[in-house]
Structure formats: structure tokens, C-alpha cells
């Protein structure tokens, strides 16, 4: 890295992704508001940051990505291949969120918003429902189910192509360009979401929505589901078990302070989730004020809150097109920041497998990789694309990451040796974090996983 700040910003843009903006608020609404926020903060401290620290130590010590990291232990070599495959599968659908955001962003510059209700005689409730229906049926054109594939939507397919071009250009120049892009992807979404929050909080019902986000219902802590959802959102939002953090840390100075880096990255994740939670709950509060229904009485998905509900609510803000553009620019930059790290990890492993050496080979292999991922990703921009994404997210993403994190902890602490690894980290960084972190890796993290 040219500067250590670029490494921290790249890690921050990786761990503050679409999961933070869209999925975290929906899970919080589902699991008792502030109680889930408390569970999330607790799990970040005892699960997220320790695993980030573990992966940063591994990457920094071997100076490479997940493929190289696990070659030092032949028994665990398959874990490196597994992380490479997982990153590839995630990349196939993750970029579609950015493509949707880009499509909505372009639509925001039209003279009349496509989802705008023009009937002056409609009341506010009818207008909101029309906007939500318009976003579902006209913008994303979602079919009835996975069996009803429909056709590829050309405008969204074009936006998906543009997002892959942006990602490919950033990845081609390696860590130098990735670090420079992180100045935008690591800071701009936070500024934009602060602006969104300042605009939405003025609407009726927004304050009650934020209170719901921050007010815990302690009785729900006894339900296993809240802890399961908490573990999943912490691991998936931080990218643990994907090899992304290992790959980024492979470019760090050998004596860089891994624990400090892990804590700063964890704080970035918490700040991203907190800001997104306040903003999205303010939007939910406005919506519930309109329909006269409590937040905890209805289920809403991350797609609905980001691509159906916000456009409808933004219509009641002054200069709604501007607010719409700000919101979808923030989602686009956030998604791109995370996707760049995923593709960088995939390409690093891919290059090691086929032996990329010359510039021509580098360009050809990158174009080939991105072309294949784009063509496969076209399945996610069909009318059934939302159901394809849900399937991949539920049965591949959320299922694999806890398993890989568990294997990381068990292999390092019980096979390689917790004390042996702890000594190597102390030699590398020049300091030891004490025996507590060793027992976190060895016992506490595996128990939660």
C-alpha cells in the first residue's frame, strides 16, 4: 500500500457493504429493534473483531491471499480453494445490487421519476402504494417465482455491464488503484447517508422509527433466532471467511499492527450499520405513520426497503429526484467498494492457479474472468433474478461463511497450535495482545460458530 490509510479505507469499504445498508435494518426490525442492535454490538466484539484479527494476521504473515495462506498447511489447502469458490459465487450476484442502484440512479435524472404518482386526487396512502407497486412491477419487473424466469431486462443488464467495467478497471491496476478508489468508496457513502438522514428525519414518523431502532425489547434475547441472525449479519457484513481480508492484509508491511487494524475495521462496520439503521428506521417510521401500522407487525426484505419503499418515501421530500440520486449513488459506491475486494481476491487466486506473468496474460485473464462472471450474472437480471439472488444468498453465502470461519479457528488453534501462532504474531507485530485473544480464537469463537 502507498499509505496505511489506504489499507484501512479499503478494509472499511469492504466491511461496510450492502449488507449493512439494507439487510441489517430489516433484521433489526424483525428481531425487536434495539435488542438486535445490542446483540450485534456484542457479537462484533466477541466474534467479528477476533476473526478479523485472525485473518489479518494470516494474510500479513504469508504476504498473500487465501490460496497462498493455506498452502503452509497441506491439510488446510482445500480451505483456500473453498474461499476462492465462495468469493466467485458471491461476486456473481453481489454486483446485481450495484446494477439495480445504477439503474435507479440513471432513472433519477429523468424529468419525471418513473415511480412518481401523478394523480393529484389520490391521498398519500394510495400514492405510496402506487409508488411501491410501480417499483416492483415497472422498474425491477419481478416475476411470480423462480420457475417464471421471464426475459433478461436489457437496461439492468447494461447497468450490470457498466459495474463490471468499473470493477475491472480498479482491479487491473492492483492495490495501487484499489487504495485510491477507497478514498471514495470508504468515505462518500457515509457523507451521503448523513445527508439522507438529515432529510428524512424531518418527515412525520421518522423520529419514532429511530426510537424503535434504539429502544431494546430485552425479552426477545431468549429467542435463538435473534442470535443466529446476529452471527450471520456480523460475519457476512464483515466478509469473514471469504478470504477478502486475508488478501488485503497480504499487501501490508510485515510489522503493521494487526490488532489496531482489526479494531479500526470493526469500528467502521459498527458506524456503517448504525448510520444505515438510523436512516432506514426513519424511513420505516415515515411509512408506518402513513399506513398506521407498527413496524414490528410486518416483514420487509432488504430489496423492498431499498428499491421499493425509499423511492415512495422520497417522493414526499422536496426535490425528490435529488434525494433519490443521493441514495442510489451511496448504494452504488458501497456495493462497488465491496465487490472490488471480492474480485481482487478471486483474480489473485485465479492468477496463482494459471500462472499469470506477462501484461498480455494479465489483461486477457482478467477480461475472461469478468466476462464469464457477467454472463453467468445475467441470470440475476432476469425477471426471476431476485429469487436467484435470494437462493444464492441463503444457501451458499450464509451457509458457507460460518463453516469457513469455524474451520479457520479450529485449524489455526487446534491443528497448527494456538500458542505457536500466537508467538509468530508477537514476532511479526512486536507485541502480544495477551492470552485472552488466544482463548477467543480457540474456544469462544468456535462455540458461537
Please state the residue numbers annotated as binding site.
16, 20, 237, 269
Beta carbons of 204 and 124 less than 8 angstroms apart: no
pLDDT (0 to 100) of residue 118: 58
Beta carbons of 312 and 131 less than 8 angstroms apart: yes
Domain count, the chain: 1
Please state the residue numbers annotated as binding site for Na(+).
16, 20, 237, 269
Q: Assign residue 206 the CATH number of its domain.
A: 1.10.4160
Helices 188-200, 258-291: crossing angle, 10 deg rounding: 30
pLDDT (0 to 100) of residue 309: 82
How many whole angstroms separate alpha carbon 440 and alpha carbon 97? Answer: 35
Which of 178, 224, 223, 130 minimizes the C-alpha distance to 2? 178
Beta carbons of 247 and 345 less than 8 angstroms apart: yes
Residue 340 lies in domain: 4-448
pLDDT (0 to 100) of residue 158: 93
Beta carbons of 44 and 237 less than 8 angstroms apart: no
Residues 253-312: tens digit of each pLDDT: 888 888 999 999 999 999 999 999 999 888 888 888 877 777 666 677 788 888 888 887
In which residue ranges of the chain is pLDDT below 50?
none
DSSP 8-state code for residue 147: T
pLDDT (0 to 100) of residue 424: 87
Read out DSSP for 261-288?
Answer: HHHHHHHHHHHHHHHHHHHHHHHHHHHH
Amino acid at each position: 500500500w502507498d499509505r496505511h490509510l489506504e489499507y484501512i479505507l479499503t478494509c472499511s469499504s469492504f466491511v461496510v457493504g450492502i449488507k449493512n445498508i439494507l439487510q441489517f435494518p430489516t433484521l433489526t426490525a424483525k428481531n425487536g429493534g434495539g435488542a438486535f442492535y445490542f446483540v450485534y454490538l456484542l457479537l462484533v466484539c466477541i466474534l467479528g473483531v477476533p476473526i478479523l484479527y485472525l485473518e489479518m494476521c494470516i494474510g500479513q504473515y504469508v504476504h498473500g491471499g487465501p490460496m497462498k495462506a493455506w498452502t503452509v498447511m497441506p491439510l488446510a489447502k482445500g480451505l483456500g480453494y473453498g474461499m476462492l469458490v465462495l468469493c466467485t459465487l458471491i461476486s456473481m450476484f453481489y454486483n446485481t445490487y450495484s446494477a439495480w442502484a445504477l439503474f435507479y440512479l440513471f432513472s433519477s435524472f429523468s424529468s419525471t421519476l418513473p415511480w412518481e404518482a401523478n394523480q393529484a386526487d389520490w391521498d398519500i396512502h394510495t400514492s405510496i402504494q402506487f409508488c411501491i407497486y410501480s417499483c416492483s412491477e415497472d422498474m425491477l419487473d419481478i416475476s411470480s417465482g423462480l420457475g417464471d424466469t421471464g426475459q433478461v431486462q436489457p437496461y439492468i443488464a447494461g447497468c450490470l455491464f457498466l459495474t463490471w467495467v468499473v470493477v475491472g478497471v480498479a482491479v487491473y491496476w492492483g492495490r495501487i488503484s484499489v487504495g485510491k478508489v477507497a478514498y471514495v468508496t470508504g468515505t462518500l457513502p457515509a457523507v451521503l447517508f448523513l445527508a439522507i438522514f438529515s432529510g428524512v428525519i424531518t418527515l412525520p414518523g421518522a423520529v419514532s422509527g429511530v426510537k424503535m431502532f434504539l429502544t431494546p425489547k430485552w425479552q426477545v434475547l431468549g429467542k435463538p433466532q435473534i442470535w443466529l441472525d446476529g452471527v450471520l449479519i456480523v460475519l457476512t457484513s464483515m466478509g469473514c471467511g471469504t478470504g477478502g481480508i486475508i488478501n488485503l492484509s497480504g499487501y501490508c508491511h510485515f510489522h503493521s499492527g494487526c490488532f489496531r487494524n482489526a479494531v479500526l475495521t470493526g469500528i467502521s462496520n459498527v458506524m456503517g450499520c448504525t448510520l444505515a439503521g438510523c436512516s432506514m428506521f426513519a424511513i420505516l417510521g415515515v411509512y408506518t405513520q402513513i399506513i398506521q401500522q407498527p413496524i414490528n407487525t410486518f416483514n420487509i426484505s432488504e430489496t423492498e426497503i431499498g428499491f421499493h419503499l425509499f423511492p415512495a418515501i422520497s417522493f414526499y421530500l422536496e426535490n425528490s429526484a435529488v434525494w433519490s440520486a443521493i441514495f442510489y449513488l451511496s448504494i452504488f459506491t458501497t456495493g462497488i467498494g465491496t465487490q472490488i475486494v471480492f474480485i481482487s481476491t478471486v483474480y489473485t487466486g485465479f492468477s496463482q492457479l494459471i500462472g499469470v506473468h506477462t501484461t498480455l496474460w494479465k489483461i486477457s485473464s482478467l477480461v475472461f474472468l469478468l466476462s464469464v462472471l457477467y454472463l453467468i450474472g445475467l441470470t440475476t437480471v432476469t425477471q426471476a433474478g431476485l429469487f436467484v439472488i435470494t437462493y444464492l444468498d441463503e444457501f451458499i453465502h450464509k451457509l458457507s461463511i460460518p463453516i469457513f470461519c469455524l474451520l479457520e479457528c479450529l485449524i489455526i488453534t487446534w491443528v497448527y497450535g494456538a500458542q505457536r501462532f500466537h508467538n509468530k504474531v508477537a514476532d511479526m507485530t512486536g507485541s502480544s495482545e495477551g492470552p485472552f485473544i488466544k482463548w477467543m480464537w480457540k474456544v469462544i469463537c468456535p462455540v458461537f460458530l
